[in-house]
Amino acid sequence: MSAFDVDLFVIGGGSGGVRAARVAASYGAKVMLAEEYRLGGTCVIRGCVPKKLMVYASRFPDEFADAAGYGWSVPQASFDWTTLIANKDREIARLEGLYRATLENAGVVIAKVRAVIEDAHTVRLATGERVRARFILVAVGAYPTLEPRIPGGEHGITSNEVFDLARQPERILVVGGGYIAVEFAGIFAGLGSAVTLLHRGDKLLRGFDDDVRVALAEAYAKRGVTLALQRTLSGLERRPDGALDAVLSDGETLIVDQVLVATGRRPNTAGLGLDKAGLAVDEVGAIPVDGYSRTLTPSVYAVGDVTNRANLTPIAIREGHAFADTVFGGKPTMVDHELIPTAVFSTPEIGVIGHTEAAARALCGEIDVYKAQFRALKATLSGRDERVLMKVIVEKATDKVVGVHIMGPSAGEMIQLVGIAVMMGATKADFDRTVAVHPTAAEELVTMRVPVPQTA
């Protein structure tokens, strides 16, 4: 008889954990998975998927407004928050059911409780049950912080709560300048809320190309988002009418209905018992792992946001899959974290792969930068005053395209496809000999011929 109850115990039923459990089971492993909240994890329940549904909702007013230039008279449109949230909830429940069915069909035993580590081979469930496992996979994800701690900070909400608000806030303050803050500022502005976006830096989206950061700020300002930059939140106070006084670091007070704090996420490692398996976490609470997602304890692996490598769903899924291939499939597999296409679902949308101009200058020596800023064809008749930005960065010595940055409609879809070419090591000459698809916005990627003149 085996000394273990299962071959694999997965803690966390999100993007990484579900993929790892299913693939390990397909290799014949006996697998158990614990999920303390809802199967599907952050992405499905309160992340990518409901967020994108809300992004779609927020873009209809653009279509209604743009229609007039094309001859359509659209009657006064109205929006019902309760309908959107109810329909979103129904879709999320359906997806959660699919995740459960996928796991059950693969033979994975699901425990709908919290699990913690008791030693390098033992997991304890909240029910008190102990399970001995040959391998433990930690895939517990991350949680949104309400930082910095300020007086009245408890009145703020995070991305966890924003999906379930009973009412659409008429006035909302969004704190942060990263993915989540930028996306929700866009969502609420599109839905008609008065939005202030408060960020401690001088530009949004640190780490993105400067041209994109500048263009997004301009686009948001045109769309009516009030940008409060180089300031922070000092305190929150509930008013008798239920609204909030939000006091900023320069003394200004804003009266708002909600404050969404999106100042980052931290790995879910508190109280997990990692120390009992001989493991320590880093300064942000993440579990250090090697390229195979191995921790320092041979029986314990970790994937996804809890490792704080690249906190994106497709990466968690790949890491989970690679873990199962490595440990149960006899195919040692590492995940490449070097070149990751990504999109920010702001409106206008952003799609990026590879180096920013500044990073390319530092890392690649001489570069050529090709840049186009233009009005999309659709905007000519609609009269929409918004420009598309495209930027291609080329390493001069090799002619390789080392970065592509797009801001405009469908930028996420475009970067997924151009990302394949960049992954394959495409050169600028390859881009140039690709025939344009006309008339599209994407054709600009293959028709830019003259690099931006370099300043000395």
Bridge partner list, 258: 172
Helices 48-67 and 179-191 cross at an angle (nearest 10°) of 40
SS (H, E, C) 83-100: HHHHHHHHHHHHHHHHHH
How far apart are CB 310 and ligand FAD at their closest, in Å?
8
Spatial neighbors of 338 by CB under 8 A, at least 6 apart, are none
Q: Name the one range near ligand FAD by CB under 6 A: 81-89, 214-222, 307-315, 448-456.
A: 307-315
Using the rule CB under 6 A, which residue among 22, 30, 51, 134 binds ligand FAD?
51
Q: Cα separation of 157 and 258, whole Å?
A: 7
From residue 15 to residue 34, what is the string marking binding to ligand FAD with x (rule CB under 6 A)? Answer: xxx----------------x
Q: Rounded to 5 degrees, what are φ and ψ at 411?
A: -60, -35
| C-beta pairs of 243-251 under 8 Å, 24+ apart in sequence | 243/171, 244/152, 244/155, 244/173, 246/173, 248/198
Size of the site for ligand FAD (CB under 6 A): 36
Catalytic: 438?
yes
Applying CB under 6 A, which part among 1-9, 24-32, 92-100, 135-143 lies near ligand FAD?
Answer: 135-143
Instruction: Give the separation between CA 131 and CA 11, rounded to whole angstroms.
Output: 12
Under rule CB under 6 A, which residues in 419-448 are in contact with ligand FAD? none
Region binding ligand FAD by CB under 6 A among candidate stretches 14-22, 70-78, 193-201, 284-292:
14-22
The answer to whether 422 and 354 have CB atoms below 8 angstroms apart is yes
Among 337, 355, 405, 438, which one carries the catalytic annotation? 438
177 binds ligand FAD (CB under 6 A): no
For the CB of residue 42, give the shortest distance to ligand NDP in the complex, in Å: 8
* Choices 79-87, 221-229, 299-307, 442-450; region in contact with ligand FAD by CB under 6 A: 299-307
The two beta strands, 130-138 and 122-125, are antiparallel
Q: Phi/psi of residue 129, each to 5°?
A: -65, 140
Asked if residue 273 binds ligand FAD (CB under 6 A), the reply is: no
Q: Give the nearest residue (CB) to ligand NDP.
A: 178
Place of tokens 């158990």: 32
Per CB under 6 A, contacts with ligand FAD among 317-376 are 345
The 3 state secondary structure assigned to 372-399 is: EEEECHHHHHHCCCCEEEEEEEEECCCC
Q: What does the alpha-carbon distance between residue 353 and residue 420 come to, in Å, rounded to a whole number? A: 10
Footprint of ligand FAD on 88-127 (CB under 6 A): 114-116
**Which residue's CB is nearer to ligand NDP, number 158 or number 333?**
158
- CB 187 to ligand FAD: min, Å: 10
Minimal distance, residue 305 CB to ligand NDP, in Å: 8
Contacts with ligand FAD in 184-203 (CB under 6 A)? none
Asked if residues 61 and 77 have their Cβ atoms less than 8 Å apart, the reply is yes
Q: For residue 240, count other CB atoms closer than 10 A to its CB.
A: 5
Of residues 115 and 401, the one with the C-beta less far from ligand FAD: 115
Q: Minimum CB separation from ligand NDP for residue 140, in Å?
A: 15
* Residue 427: CB minimum distance to ligand FAD, A: 28
**Residue position matching structure tokens 């994407």:** 442
Say whether residue 43 binds ligand FAD (CB under 6 A).
yes
The residue ranges that bind ligand FAD (CB under 6 A) are 11-17, 34-37, 41-43, 47-48, 51, 114-116, 139-141, 159, 180, 268, 272, 304-306, 311-314, 316, 345
Catalytic residues: 438
